[in-house]
Structure 1
Amino acid sequence: MEHFRDPKMNALVVRPLVERLYNPDDISVVYCLLANRVSFLREQSKEVHQSVNQARAILCELLASRVLRRFHEDNPGPQGLLLLSHILVEGFDPFQGAPSHMERPANRPQWPGSGDTSGSERKVTALELAIVSESKFFISSAACQRAVDAVHNGQIIYTPLSFMDFLPDHYKRRPISLYDPRTAPLLNHHRLIVPRNRNLIELVHFVILLVLYVMTMISRHSEVNMWEFAFCIYTFGWLLEKMAAIIEHGWAVHAQNLWAFLDITFASIFGAYFILRIYDFLLDQLHSGYGLPILCIAAPVMLTRVAFNLLPNNLVFISVHAMMKDFTVLTFLATWCFTGFLLALQWLVSASNDGNEEFSWYVVGKWMLWIWFGLDGEGIEESVRFHIILGPALMIAFAFLGNTLFLTILIAMLTNTFSKIVADETAEIQFRRAVLTFEGVKSDSIFAYPPPFNILALMVLLPLKLVTTARIFHIVNVALIRTLNMPTLLLISFVERRRLWMQSRRASGKRSKWQFTSLSPHNDVQAVFKSIPPTEISDIIDQLDPLGEVPILEDDLMPTMAGDNPQSKLRRWRMLQREGHRRTDDTGAWSSSSSIKNE
């Protein structure tokens, strides 16, 4: 990336491509560039032309960010924000504009009752492609962050695209638009899918799940454990919600979530617990069975998950999520080699002693595991009982490979991953926030029903959708959603209207007599920078930095600064106008003096 941002490369390659690709009337250019980046990254896995494809992918990301910045500069204000949102979250069909004779893939199988034949399941958004391709430079740009913040706060509202819905209700599909609380209804069920509200709601759902889990474990020795029954029912509803989230945007997007691997771990533990609990019930051994001990090991997963939810922007948790992939792959390879040494030792003792002395798999595995972690060397001492020469050789080779080499490689890989994250901390945090924002906007109606009511909604409303019209189903669905979520909707409406009221009071200059936040000796320092300077002061500031004295290549070194300020283009135009008037006045004065001298 730094190579393409060099001034010479910027002037010779990047800027001409941006000028050629940028079209104010075509908002699909950013999507096309990111789609090409995804394609180049997939081709990068091949050994042939690997570096070339990697360079092309980086160039596509840089061009996409520059083109988006041009849209950002040319369209300030609320309408510009709306245009950026159309560029990032409006869906595009990859085959859109292709000739009719081109072969297209067959339609994907749809969920019963979806009734969506518009082909929206084919469409993909530019923001989704940026997340899948991990375009962190593009997402961390000022233009992209402006749109992401607006979607996250609910300023931009829209009906997202989805791969498949469990409980589809697309009778009224909302276009991308600006949200106005003054014209919104009091019980606006669409505010349940605003990412900021959705993250808080999901946190409350998980806290309820954690409370039920703790109460289940506390009362696990009682005769009738109603807490366990409530925990199982609620967990099934919570898992249904997570399954719908994975299916809606795909695993590639959901896996970018910080706590995705924790959810999968908890789902696996609960599945094993539930199967063993049914087995205990059939054998009439509920108090001394196998299910509850399995459920005990979910405690570290659930408490860690709460910490991830409370601190999603913490660098440590972001690093843990990034390092889990490397750690899992390397541990799998080490375990595979571990199994090879275990088989070799078992077959070696059988061949050497003719079956007179055998060691169990458990004993040999324990010796090797202790050597792997550097805890005990008993396995090396006992290795002569396998074979006088080959036994110690295998054990010592395993100690070198498993303990010394494996740990060295593991520490080096994790350190490299952590250093990369720390070097670009801001981009990592903004990327994770974009993932939460994109995944927080839900299309499926199943998310509007809190667990375990989503199970009842799926059992009742899905058959109802098959026998009624789309309008009747929409009316029934909205009525049930507003009834079940009435306290939440009233609270959201109150908070949004109060925030709007506070903003209007600040704009009108009305302040209450007592404000705790005003009790600070530094308020005047903050207020002076928020006030708008007079016009003559702005003109003096502009004259201190004339545009004509700035070289072209030096101006190219500051694209980020111009992109961060939406008024940069307006200021540059004013400076050009001032430079033009100044040169005209100087020319006129020189012409007048020359004519006087000639006379």
Structure 2
Amino acid sequence: MADIFRAPPIHRTISHALRLAREREESETLLGEETPADRSGCIIPAQTNKHNPYSHLPVYKSIHRIRRLILASIDDPYTLDQLMSPRINVAIVRPLTDRLFDPDDISIVYCLLVNRQRFLHDQVFQAHHQTVNNTRATLCELLASRVLRKFNEENPTRMGLLVLANILVSGFEPFQNCPEDVLIDNRRLLHERDINNSAIQWDRMTNALEVGIISESKAFLASTACQRVVESLYRGRIVYTPNSMMDIIPDHYKRRGVSLYDPRKAPILNHYRLIVPRTRAILEFAQFVVLLILYVMTMVNREQSTVTWWEVTFIIYGAGWMLDETASILEHGWQVHTQNLWSFLDLSFCGIFSVYLIVRAHGAASGNVEVGVQALDILACAAPIMFPRIAFNIMPENLLFISLRAMMRDFLVLTAVAFWCFCGFLFAMSWLSRWRGAEDVHIPPVEISKWMLWIWFGLDGTGIQHSVDFHLILGPILMISFAFLGNTLFLTILVSMLSNTFSKIAADATQEIQFRRAVLTFEGVKSDAVFAYRPPFNLLAVVVLVPLRFVITPRWFHKIHITAARVLNAPILLAISWFERKHLWQKAKRGMQSGAIRRSTSTFNVLGQFQAHRELQEVFDVDPPQQMIDEIEEEDVIEDDMLEFGYSNNQRDRSKSPQATESMRRRRFSSVAPQF
């Protein structure tokens, strides 16, 4: 057993590290002309409509194998720092990483994250296990990061980037390759498989990136290897067709596998580029700016008796925008959508807009002017939501907005609990208010609630003054008790909770920012055809294309959809094509020829010539000559030997280190020593 868990020695040398860094940098350069690509610009697609190259992977077996290993390895609760300590790292983490890592099995990361989600679920419903399940979930996340890092180290080139992308976004089914007995026991799975005649169940598949977001594996999503893929997905260098929960306009006639994208070999009007996360974020921001302008013009030019053209335009455009928001929720599910930084603002606006639309329609149908005025008053309450949303879009990685989202959640939870607890005080004081002689001193509950609210926020003590109207003795006791509990105890708890939340987010600011970036990227990749149409044209697309897909073949439906999307988005697609052909991939760096430095034009434009201290950056954009590289490599060989043998237990090897150091020092400085 000791031999199984013994990790092989790993010697990471300077030359090896520099070579990996150089290969990773070259993986982001422009694709060569000889690179094979199809007509859509996709290079080496891994999955198609009818083929899944990872269908042979034993996902079901790996999930249960990992669970057994984790249960056997962790019996006591540990923190993340303790799991990363040298002792536990050597005893548990590194042996499990080496045991689970398999270069031919890319589903291990997915299986680890699935187990993390399960352990977090067990911790909620099995609290008697203390926090041991949280520790097991943390270990699964740590192992997933280590395994992904090993894949990254062994695949640093451009094709390695494609391997990492397949690990994170390729779809897997938890019951993949499970025994037939399991299918027989689970009648629902067996029934679905019989209905689909063993076809690929794309809608039942999830990927490692999605499971990582659902389980809030922030350390995993913030790892270097994961962010390398997230950045490529965000820019559109890697493309794939995601697995959606529900499509309003489904068009899966052509399914794109995980592949690299070459804009030079793609059509100029490529409608698939409308769902690239970076392009999608820019378009969504522009759409919201248009919505905000229409909202302001509607409120400025509103009329009580009639509906203005500004309001009609706002209603139509707002309905299209709300359809886009609804499709986003259906695309990846409620759990993923609510992880977005500004999702609570969008959902709040959708609620206010829906109430406004219903009340406004009721007022117009009944001819009641006062009801129409109330609808506009309801719409006015959306202003505190719409204007901050612009700031959230402009600064999505600002720590203040990230903290504000989490603190709002804590505030609402504690406020709901406090309201529930203090309802008893409201009922007690309302029941104490009664007839006293001939004078009616009954106080309505609304008035009592107002007094309690003022006391809650420390604004006014009117409720304490009128507490004798409830009862001469019991009234003041109840009101003063509420003041102590509400204004002192609960507000102190609220401030402590919000301070603790902000402290946690500030301590892990990098992970929080990169987690939100991963959420934005994953949610930005869409498969629903409705996202190819800008509001309000998406309303027209739903009205026309949804009934049409039932009467024509999928091939003709796909052709009609492509034609409509390219015609309606022609200016946008032309701008995207022009920009990506120049800036999607970095141009290869050029070195020195004949002693003259040729500066790279991909990094510094004309404006960069006027930048102060630009040489500090340009020195890295020029590759040194081969002769100098050979000299550096020769010196690094001796340094590599020192790294490998300098701290050996062998006295003979250690005795060589000073000589190697002195020899290296003489050779290094002999050519540059000053002559006197």
TM-score range, shorter chain: 0.7 to 0.9
Local SS of the residue matching 1:163: coil
Shift of 1:47: 1.2
Q: Deviations over 1:157-196 (max 9, x none)?
A: 1111111111000000001100011111000111111100
Q: Cα 1:305–1:551, aligned 2, differ >3 Å: closer, same or farther? A: farther
**Aligned residue for 1:547?**
643
Alpha-carbon distance between aligned partners in 2 of 1:231 and 1:116, rounded to the nearest angstrom: 48
Counterpart residue identity of residue 127, structure 1 = L
Query: Is contact 1:253-1:435 (8 Å) kept?
Result: yes
Shift, 1:97, TM fit: 1.6
How far did residue 48 of structure 1 move? 1.9
Structure 2 residue 611 is the aligned partner of structure 1 residue 527: no
Distance change in 2, residues 1:391/1:119 (3 Å): same
Alignment TM-score, normalising by the size of structure 2: 0.78
Structure 1, 526-535 or 510-519: larger mean CA deviation: 510-519
Q: For the Cα contact (< 8 Å) 1:266–1:298, is it kept in 2?
A: yes
Per-residue CA deviation, residues 208-262 of structure 1 (Å, 9 max, x unaligned), is 1111111110110274501111111111111111111111111110000011111
Q: Out of 309, 312, 324, which is 1:229 matched to?
A: 312
- Alignment of 1:51 onto 2:126: no
Does the CA-based 8 Å contact 2:591-2:623 persist in structure 1?
no
| Residue 328 of structure 2 corresponds to residue 255 of structure 1 | no
Q: Percentage identity across aligned positions?
A: 52
Q: Is the 8 Å Cα contact of residues 430 and 443 (structure 2) preserved in structure 1?
A: yes
State the partner residue of 2:568.
484
- Structure 2 residue matching 1:134: 3-state secondary structure: coil
- For the residue of structure 2 that corresponds to 1:148, the secondary structure is helix
RMSD over equivalenced CA pairs, Å: 2.6
Could you say which residue in structure 2 is the equivalent of 1:565? none
Q: Does 1:101 align with 2:184?
A: no
Q: Within 2, Cα distance between the matches of 1:40 and 1:427?
A: 21
- Residue 528 of structure 1 deviates from its aligned partner by 2.7
Cα pair 1:367 1:379 within 8 Å, conserved: yes
- 1:342–1:354 distance in 2 versus 1, CA, 3 Å: farther
The one-letter code matched in structure 2 to 1:30 is V
Matching residue of 2:367: 284
- 2:519, 2:334 → 1: CA distance? 12
Find the counterpart in structure 2 of residue 194 from structure 1.
276
Q: Contact between 1:38 and 1:133, CA under 8 Å: does it hold in 2?
A: yes
- Residue 63 of structure 2 corresponds to none
Question: Does 2:453 correspond to 1:369?
Answer: yes
Offset from partner CA, 1:84-118 (integer Å, 9 cap, x none): 000000010010021112134737999xxx99963
Of 123, 140, 157, the match for 1:77: 157
1:388 offset after TM fit, Å? 1.3
Q: 1:149 aligns with which of 231, 240, 250?
A: 231
Q: Which residue does 2:54 correspond to in 1?
A: none
Normalising by the residue count of structure 1, what TM-score does the alignment of the two structures yield? 0.87
Q: Is 288-297 or 225-234 further displaced after alignment?
A: 288-297
Provide the C-alpha distance between the structure 2 equivalents of 1:378 and 1:153, rounded to a whole number of angstroms: 59
Structure 1 contact 352–386 (Cα < 8 Å) conserved = no
User: Secondary structure at 1:178's aligned position in 2?
Assistant: strand
Measure the CA separation in 2 of the matches of 1:35 and 1:468.
40
Match of 1:62 among 139, 142, 158: 142
The aligned counterpart of 1:536 is: 631
Task: Classify the secondary structure of the residue corresponding to 1:186.
Answer: coil
- How far residue 484 of structure 1 moved from its aligned partner, in angstroms, is 0.6
Matches of 2:571 and 2:480, distance apart in 1: 66
Tell me which residue corresponds to 2:211.
129
- Equivalent positions of 1:577-588 (< 5 A) are none
Instruction: Report the more deviating stretch, 535-544 or 511-520.
Output: 511-520
Contact 1:505-1:511 within 8 A present in 2 as well: yes
Q: What CA distance in whole angstroms lies between the structure 1 residues aligned with 2:284 and 2:227? A: 23
Q: Is the 8 A contact 2:451 2:463 kept in 1?
A: yes
| Cα distance, 1:352 vs structure 2 | 7.3
In structure 2, the partner of 1:456 is: 540
Aligned residues: 552
Alpha-carbon offset, residue 266 of structure 1:
0.6
Change in CA separation of 1:472 and 1:374 when aligned onto 2, cut-off 3 Å: same
SS at match of 2:83: coil
Partners in 2 of 1:10 and 1:72 — Cα distance?
Answer: 20
1:24-44 residue CA offsets vs partner (Å, 9 max, x unmatched):
000000000000000000111
Amino acid at match of 1:382: H
- Identify the range of structure 1 (494-503 vs 161-170) with the bigger mean alpha-carbon deviation: 494-503
CA gap of 1:551–1:440, structure 2 versus 1, over 3 A, is: farther
Matched, 1:33 2:112: yes
| 2:424 alignment partner in structure 1 | 340
Given that residues 599 and 622 in structure 2 are in contact (C-alpha distance below 8 angstroms), is that contact kept between their aligned partners in structure 1? no
Q: Paired residue for 2:322, among 239, 242, 263?
A: 239
Q: Which residue of 2 aligns with 1:158?
A: 240
Deviations 1:133-160 (A, max 9, x none): 1111101111001011110010001111
Instruction: Verify the 8 A CA contact 1:43 1:50 in the aligned structure 2.
Output: no
Gap regions ≥5 residues in structure 2: 1-79, 593-597, 649-655, 661-676
Residue aligned with 1:451, SS: coil
Mapped to 1, the partners of 2:392 and 2:187 lie a distance apart of 39
Counterpart residue type for residue 65 of structure 1: S
Q: CA deviation at 1:502?
A: 7.8
Evaluate the alpha carbon distance shift between residue 500 and residue 394 of structure 1 in structure 2; reply closer, same or farther with a 3 A threshold: closer
* CA separation of 1:417 and 1:501: change in aligned 2, threshold 3 A: closer
The secondary structure found in structure 2 opposite 1:307 is helix
| Inter-CA distance 230–106: structure 2 relative to 1 (3 Å threshold) | farther
* Residue 325 in structure 1 maps to residue 409 in structure 2: yes
Would the aligned equivalents of 1:352 and 1:387 in 2 still touch at CA under 8 Å? no
SS at match of 2:393: helix
The aligned amino acid for 2:312 is: F
CA–CA distance in 2 between the matches of 1:363 and 1:218? Answer: 34
Of 408-417 and 502-511, more deviation after overlay is shown by: 502-511
2:673 aligns to what? none
Alpha-carbon distance change, 422 to 480 in structure 1, aligned in 2, over 3 angstroms: same
1:177 to 230, 239, 259: 259
**What are the superposed Cα offsets for residues 430-460 of structure 1, whole Å, 9 maximum, x if unpaired?**
0000000000000100111111111111111
Q: Structure 1, unaligned stretches of length 5 or more?
A: 553-577, 583-599
- Is it true that 1:42 corresponds to 2:129 in the alignment? no
Q: Give the match for residue 167 of structure 1.
A: 249
In 2, Cα distance between equivalents of 1:243 and 1:105: 32
- d(CA) in 1 for partners of 2:90, 2:153: 19
- Quote how far apart the aligned CAs of 1:500 are: 6.0
Give the CA deviation at 1:486. Answer: 0.4
The match for 1:574 is: none
In the TM superposition, what is the alpha-carbon distance from 1:462 to its structure 2 partner? 1.2
How do residues 293-442 of structure 1 correspond to structure 2 at under 5 angstroms?
Answer: 293-350=377-434, 356-442=440-526
Quote the offset at 1:481 in angstroms: 0.4
AA aligned opposite 2:557: F
One-letter amino acid of the counterpart of residue 217, structure 1: M
Give the aligned residue type for 1:96.
Q
